[in-house]
Amino acid sequence: MDLKSPKNCKSLEEVRIEIDKIDEYIISLFSERHKYVEEIVRFKNDKEAVIAQERKDQVILQRKTWAAENGLNADTFEKMYTLLIESNIQHELEILNQKKQI
């Protein structure tokens, strides 16, 4: 991805253009991540395996730590990943239910 350095931006519009590029890239990465979420159900056979509370807690804590290490608000990223993982769990449960109906 070709980005200007934030300090090299000469206007509000240039900053916004760079932010848009980054956000589009982040969304594409979330899309790629989602493909893995859909595939992981192949290795899970029940609701408990999908929920995987211990793994969920571990992932959220790790992302919170990574955020803090990168100078970001750890609580914000904890909330974001909690929401993301809850959404993933719901999607995985839907896939699991479809799998059981086949």
Tell me the per-residue pLDDT of 26-82, one tens digit each, with 9 for 90 and over. 999 999 999 999 999 999 999 999 999 999 999 999 999 999 999 999 999 999 999
What is the C-alpha separation between 69 and 6, in angstroms, rounded? 20
The H-assigned helical ranges of the chain are 12-40, 47-51, 53-69, 74-101
Q: Which of 33, 60, 85 is nearest to 93 (CA)?
A: 85
* Cα atoms in the Cβ-side hemisphere of radius 13 Å centred on 52: 19
Q: Which of 50, 44, 48, 61 is nearest to 86 (CA)?
A: 50
Going along the chain from its start, the domains and CATH numbers come out as 10-101 (1.20.59.10)
* Cα atoms in the Cβ-side hemisphere of radius 13 Å centred on 77: 16
Q: Which of 84, 65, 89, 85 is nearest to 75 (CA)?
A: 65
Q: What's the pLDDT tens digit per position in 18-35? A: 999 999 999 999 999 999
